Amino acid sequence: MIVIMPDFDGLPINAQRPRWPLIVIVIGCLVLIWLLKFPGVVLASFILLSSYLLIHFTPDEKETAALRSSITLSMEDIQDVLDQYHDFLHGQSTETIADRTLYRPALADLDCQEEAIERFHYLVNTSDRFTSRMHARLERNLNITQLEKLLQIADARAAELEESWLAARKAARRLSE
């Protein structure tokens, strides 16, 4: 049984902040200027300056950097499993050749009907596309909620691929006995 993960469902492509708070602030400042004249100008300029500083210099930068770092680590976990598989397929050491030809030949067979191996091959094929899509997502300006969602997705993918790799190796070993 092959499980298809929803990947990026629920994440908007455009990650801009909503504009309505800025519009409300500007309208409020215009009302202050209209009602209070010069003191309204002083208050409005203070409010606009404070709003600008809050919007552009948010304290979330450290948290977003930490989330991006965690996502990168999850992507590296996925890449590690893919590297192990490619080393299994193409490695030239005596251990990998023996593993590939004697102990687990079914793992190298793309037409193997064993469910665990078939599932692993499916995940390997989709993981390259997943990592490229994830890197493209990380290039955008994302907020904390979106980064947390991406981290959950990346962690789930990394764990699923790791578990599938171990299950496929175990199934291939069982088939060769």
Please count the structural domains in the chain.
1
User: What is the pLDDT, as a whole number, of residue 54?
Assistant: 81
The rounded distance, in Å, linking the Cα atoms of 80 and 154 is: 14
In a domain, 20, yes or no: no
In a domain, 161, yes or no: yes
pLDDT tens per residue, range 116-131: 999 999 999 999 899 9
User: What is the pLDDT, as a whole number, of residue 141?
Assistant: 82
In this prediction, residue 104 has a pLDDT band, given cuts at 50, 70 and 90, of very high
Tell whether the model's pLDDT for residue 17 goes beyond 60.
Answer: yes
Q: Running DSSP on this structure, what letter comes out for residue 5?
A: P
In a domain, 54, yes or no: no
Tell me which residue of 20, 55, 25, 19 sits closest to 43, measured CA to CA: 25
Q: Which helix (H) or strand (E) holds 162?
A: helix 144-176
In a domain, 1, yes or no: no
Residue 91 lies in domain = 60-176
pLDDT tens per residue, range 38-59: 999 999 999 999 988 887 776 6
In a domain, 126, yes or no: yes
The rounded distance, in Å, linking the Cα atoms of 87 and 93 is: 9
Mean pLDDT of the chain: 88
Tell whether the model's pLDDT for residue 3 goes beyond 50.
Answer: no
